[in-house]
Structure 1
Amino acid sequence: MALLAPGAAAVSGALAIFVKTPGRSALKTRLAAGTGTAYARQWYALAADAVASVAIQARADFGIAPYWAVAEAGAESAWAGLPTIAQGDGDLGTRMARVHSALVERHGFALLIGADVPQLTAPLIGEATRWLAAPGPTEPRLSLGPASDGGFWLFGSNKTIPLPAWTRVGYSQMDTASRFRDSLDGYGSWQTLLPLTDVDRAEDLKPVQRALALLAGPTAAQRTLAQWMHDTPAMPHRDPSQ
């Protein structure tokens, strides 16, 4: 089955939001360990809505085409508001490579982000878009948004990247961003975006909450998440079996 429906090639670029479907996959397990599963699931749902709202704003401002990149086969109907693309099987590097290659071939360049950076802004997406869509002779370009924990919250390129460059990296590590960049060394000129905090653990919630409060022009979905986080503070979770 094709990852994307047939259609004419575009050059506006694409943005894939990687998501897991509640009820179909375990999600935000490290966050749930500190807050409980119910809190983590609700936070994730609201955060995904917030990220999608920014992607839709970026579509209006910069012409980029946003997608949900869905982890589970057959779960596309759970994700509304944007077209979907399948992540497919394999480890994270393999799945990112598959989605990135498919979208570069269709749209000219592709950005990959997660659903756990709800403080993201359209102008940040615009910075990456302008870099990857620079006029003139097409040269290989890459964009990286480093995360505060040593990972990264965004990767984009206007060229497909060989699979080994994706899969030889250890993800969810304190040095993932630097190792990822080293792995892709020589594949193009780099742009580095503003570092952001992505939410993996309970201690990441406060920095993201502060960042949401500081947004100059939050979307409605970002305001909804910020209000929910204010009204529903995360409480330390204790395993009842202990």
Structure 2
Amino acid sequence: MSERQTSSLHGQVAMITGASQGIGQAIARQLAPLGIHLVLCARNVQKLTELSRELALAHPEVQTLPLACDVRDAAQVEQAVTEAQKTFGKINILINNAGVAAKIGLLQEISVEEIDRTIDTNLKGSIYCMRAVLPMMVQQNGGVILNINSIAGKTAYPFWSVYDASKFGLHAITEAVAEEQRGNNIKVIGIYPGAVDTAIWEGLHAEEGPRKEGMLAPDQVAEAVVYILNQPQNVFIKDLTITPLKPLV
């Protein structure tokens, strides 16, 4: 990476949800070497603290702020943004990454609790985070919001109907808010990975999900994030789809 690219991001502040593992953790590890200060949000405080210590040792010039935050709770999201603003005075980048995989099955077989968990995390959580950071970004006259979506946000898969709905909804609000905020120099972008080898598959029976062999690695999605962030201000990548080369069947 060139010095010009590094310096353009150095000193910025990124808030990452679902940062304790998987894609969120990989993104944090790739942003820290660029000199980006990190607000790390997740429910698992212990893992966040361990990641924060790891990054502090490897990149002492980078500040990290680990915060317990369940994105399903709008009040917790608002509090996390307030704490970030108190610490850093700004948030330049929001990465909505927190997400869950819904149980696979016919719609009538999915419990109300599972429906709520999926929609509240994958869709409403991202909405709460965008709503909380946008006033600050508008005041700053700039910012980037990256919503880590899924290929299921563009193609509906049978037996994943509630998950599909959460991701299609995220796709819709990403595009709508992107148009709302163009005049404020705020980019709102969707990233649509195919199957990624993360803990999101835990709890699903082997026959319910794709084989892990050939899945994308979290680092590969994180590299896509870095690529987008390194674009000049006048370049708007509306969305980016990244999938495994071969079908996972």
Same fold (TM over 0.5): no
* Structure holding more helix per residue: 2
